[in-house]
A and B are shown apart, each in its own frame.
Chain A
Amino acid sequence: MALAFTVRNLGKVYGEGRSAVHALRGVSLDIPAGEIVVMLGASGSGKSTLLNILGGLDRASSGTVHFRDLCLTDLADRALTRYRRDNVGFVFQFYNLMPSLTALENVELITEIADKPMKAEEALAMVGLKERLDHFPSQLSGGEQQRVAIARAIAKQPEVLFCDEPTGALDSTTGRAVLTVLNAVNARFGTTVLMVTHAASIAGMAHRVIRLADGAISEVQVNKTRLAPEDIHW
Chain B
Amino acid sequence: MSPLDVKLLRDLSRIRGQAIAILLVIAVGVLLQVMMSGLVASLTETRRAYYERNRLADVFAPVARAPDTVLSRLAALPGVARAEGRVVGAALVDIAGEAIPIQARALSLPDFGEAAFSAVYLTAGRMPDRTARDEILLLTAFARARGLAPGEVVRVTMNGARRTLRIAGLAEAPDLLFVGVPGEMMPDAARVAALWMRRSELAAAYDMQGAFNEAMLSLARGAREAQVIDAVDAVLEPWGGTGAYGRSDLVSDRFVSEEIDGLTTMSRAVPPLFLAVAASLLYIVVSRIVQSEREEIGQLKAFGYTDAEVGAHYFKLVLTIAVAGAALGCLLGVLAGRAMIPVYLTFYNFPFLVFRPDPAAFAIGAIASVAAASAGGLFVLRRVFALTPAEAMRPPAPSDFSKTLTLKGRLARLLDQPTRMVLRGIARQPWRTVALSAGVAGGMALASGMTTIYGSFERMMDLSFTVIDRSDATVTFTHPLARKAAYELARVPGVFAVEPVRDVPAVFRNRLNTHRGSVTGLIDPPELARAIGADLAPIPLPEAGIVLSRPLADILEIAPGETLTIEVREGRRPVLEVPVARVATSLIGAPAYMRLDALNRVLAEPGRISGARLRLDGARADAIYRALKDMPTVAGVSVARDARASLQKLMDQGAGSARYIMGAVAFIITFGIVYNAARIAHHERARDLASLRVIGFSRGEAGFVLLGELAVIVLAAIPVGSLAGYGLTFAIAAGFSSELYQIPAAFDPFSHGFAAAFVLGAALVSGWLVKRDMDRADLIAVLKSRD
Interface residues of A (CB under 8 A from B): 52, 55, 57-59, 77-78, 81-86, 90, 92, 94, 96, 98-101, 105-106, 108-110, 112-114, 138, 152
Contacts and interface: CB of A to CB of B under 8 A. Distances in A.
Contact of A100 (B7, B301, B309): B7
Contacts, number: 73
Contacts of B7: 98, 100-101, 105, 109
A105 B2 CA distance: 9
Interface in B772-787: 781, 785-786
A77 B388 CA distance: 9
Contacts of A55: 302
A155 to B, nearest CB: 10
Interface residues of B, number: 28
Enumerate the 10 nearest inter-chain pairs by beta-carbon distance, A residue then B residue, closest first: A85-B304, A58-B390, A100-B10, A57-B390, A84-B304, A52-B390, A105-B3, A109-B3, A57-B389, A108-B3
A92 B390 contact: no
B767 to A, nearest CB: 27
Nearest to A153: B303
A99 B784 CA distance: 11
A109 B388 contact: no
A103 to B, nearest CB: 11
A98 B296 CA distance: 7
A106 to B, nearest CB: 7
A152 B302 CA distance: 12
A112 B6 CA distance: 13
A73 to B, nearest CB: 13
B565 interface: no
A114 B781 CA distance: 32
B466 to A, nearest CB: 64
A5 to B, nearest CB: 17
23 contacts: A55-B302, A57-B302, A57-B388, A57-B393, A58-B388, A58-B389, A59-B388, A81-B301, A85-B304, A86-B304, A92-B393, A98-B7, A100-B6, A100-B14, A101-B10, A105-B3, A105-B6, A105-B7, A109-B4, A109-B300, A113-B305, A114-B304, A138-B781
B577 interface: no
A138 B783 CA distance: 13
A81 B304 CA distance: 5
A78 B306 contact: yes
B303 A110 contact: yes
Nearest to A111: B3
A45 to B, nearest CB: 17
Decide if the interface of chain B is mainly helix, strand, loop or mixed. Answer: helix
Contacts of A84: 301-304, 389
Nearest to A152: B303
A30 to B, nearest CB: 23
A35 B4 CA distance: 33
Interface in B1-51: 2-4, 6-7, 10-11, 14
Given A99-B785, A100-B7, A138-B781, A113 B304 contact: yes
B785 A112 contact: no
Contact of B306 (A57, A81, A99): A81
A217 to B, nearest CB: 20
A81 B302 CA distance: 8
A105 B389 CA distance: 21
Nearest to A88: B304
B201 interface: no
Given A57-B393, A138-B781, 8 more contacts: A58-B389, A58-B390, A58-B391, A59-B388, A90-B302, A96-B299, A99-B785, A110-B303
Contacts of B389: 57-58, 84
A86 B306 CA distance: 12
* Most chain B C-beta atoms within 10 Å of own C-beta, residue among A52, A92, A99, A112: A99
Interface of B: 2-4, 6-7, 10-11, 14, 295-296, 299-307, 309, 388-391, 393, 781, 785-786
B303 A109 contact: yes
Contacts of B296: 98
B6 A101 contact: yes
Nearest to B787: A99
A82 B307 CA distance: 11
A114 to B, nearest CB: 8
Contact of B11 (A59, A100, A152): A100
A8 B428 CA distance: 43
A152 B781 CA distance: 23
B620 to A, nearest CB: 79
B12 to A, nearest CB: 10
Contacts of A106: 3
Given A57-B388, A58-B388, A112 B393 contact: no
A26 to B, nearest CB: 20
A97 B786 CA distance: 11
Nearest to B4: A109
A104 to B, nearest CB: 9
Contacts of A138: 781
A98 B4 CA distance: 10
Contacts of A90: 302-303
* Most chain B C-beta atoms within 10 Å of own C-beta, residue among A77, A98, A110: A98
Nearest to B10: A100
Nearest to A77: B307
Contacts of B786: 94
Nearest to A87: B304
Nearest to A105: B3
A152 B390 CA distance: 18
B9 to A, nearest CB: 9
A113 B299 contact: no
A152 B299 CA distance: 12
Contacts of B11: 100
Contacts of A99: 785
A6 to B, nearest CB: 21
Nearest to B296: A98
A105 B7 CA distance: 9
Contact of B393 (A82, A83, A96, A114): A96
Nearest to B786: A94
Nearest to B306: A81
Nearest to B12: A100
A70 to B, nearest CB: 15
Contact of B303 (A52, A58, A82, A85): A85
A106 B7 CA distance: 10
A53 B295 CA distance: 18
Contacts of A52: 390
Contacts of B306: 78, 81, 85
Nearest to A92: B393
B302 A112 contact: no
Contacts of A94: 786
A148 to B, nearest CB: 13
B3 A113 contact: no
A112 B313 CA distance: 14
Contacts of A114: 304
A88 to B, nearest CB: 8
Nearest to B2: A112
* Most chain B C-beta atoms within 10 Å of own C-beta, residue among A57, A101, A106, A114: A57
Contacts of A101: 3, 6-7, 10
A43 B305 CA distance: 30
B303 to A, nearest CB: 5
B397 to A, nearest CB: 12
A12 to B, nearest CB: 10
Contacts of A58: 388-391
A55 B389 CA distance: 10
Contact of A96 (B2, B14, B295, B304): B295
Contacts of A82: 304
Nearest to B9: A100
B571 to A, nearest CB: 85
A100 B8 CA distance: 9
A82 B304 CA distance: 6
A75 to B, nearest CB: 12
A144 B305 CA distance: 25
A46 to B, nearest CB: 13
Contacts of B2: 108, 112
